[in-house]
Amino acid sequence: MRLWIGIDDTDSKNGMCTTYLAVLAIEELEKRGANLIGFPRLIRLNPTIPYKTRGNGAVSFLIESEMEIGDIVDIVNDVVLNYAMLDDDNTNPGVVFVEDENDKVMDFLSRFAVKAVKDVVSLDEALFTIGKFMLPHLKYKKGRGLIGALASVGLDLYDYTLELLAYRLPERFGTKREYDEESFFEADKKTYPKTFDTVDWHNKEVVCIPNSPDPVLFGIRGEDIYAIKQAFEIIKTELSTIR
């Protein structure tokens, strides 16, 4: 069975990142024999939504597994309960599970996703879609994350970029990020324009490192996977000693 899993709204301004939580879910699923198909997808939803958590990005990924869907749901549920920022009033996670072979559902979700990216989608619309196709799902608190979770599964990616996200060790969460600034400029010099948004040469700043207390150390964006890997190997950070 090939199954899409969409996740959204697990972070807050005080920490966590839905991409990181998705990685944790993938790791747990792989321990049970599931295989990740392709790259996970990070979808940027309408940035003007007032009740977004932080970046308004939702994540989905495709797995192949012989497990029952109920077992997969249980595994992902444990990850969300353990790592999502559920004590934050503005964090209302949602997770959906969609079989990849169901063309009727995927076509409907494609239209749903376009609206979620460009317009405003209500939670009632998301719940209607889930009920219409009887999709397995997880709803926490108000469950607004179900909107992004559905959209992340359904959006057709005719054009996209790649991003390599490096995560901090858990014991470093919330502390000052340590990195060699010059190495980022060197990486950009050797890989731009195949990578981009790494540094700001005019202001002499590294711009691919977040300021928020989330697990992300840095992210390298680009359109060439080999250039991204090359940049990663040049960059020196607090992770360099454990590569």
Model confidence over 129-145: pLDDT tens digits? 999 999 999 999 999 99
Model confidence over 60-106: pLDDT tens digits? 999 999 999 999 999 999 999 999 999 999 999 999 999 998 899 99
> In 3D, which of 109, 119, 107, 90 has the Cα closest to residue 8?
90
pTM as predicted: 0.95
Model confidence over 224-240: pLDDT tens digits? 999 999 999 999 999 87
String of DSSP letters for 123-180: HHHHHHHHHHHT--EEE-TT-THHHHHHHHHH---SS--EEEEEE--GGGTTSPP-B-
Do 146 and 130 touch, CB atoms closer than 8 A? Answer: yes
Q: Rounded mean pLDDT of the chain?
A: 94
Dist CA 239 CA 235 (whole Å) = 10
Dist CA 90 CA 71 (whole Å) = 28
Model confidence over 174-232: pLDDT tens digits? 899 999 999 999 999 999 999 999 999 999 999 999 988 899 999 999 999 999 999 99
Do 160 and 213 touch, CB atoms closer than 8 A? Answer: no
Residue-range domains of the chain with CATH: 2-154 (3.30.70.2200), 162-242 (3.90.600.20)
Question: Would you say residue 47 has pLDDT above 80?
Answer: no
> In 3D, which of 110, 101, 82 has the Cα closest to residue 24?
82
Categorize the per-residue pLDDT at 112 as very low, low, confident or very high, splitting at 50, 70 and 90: very high
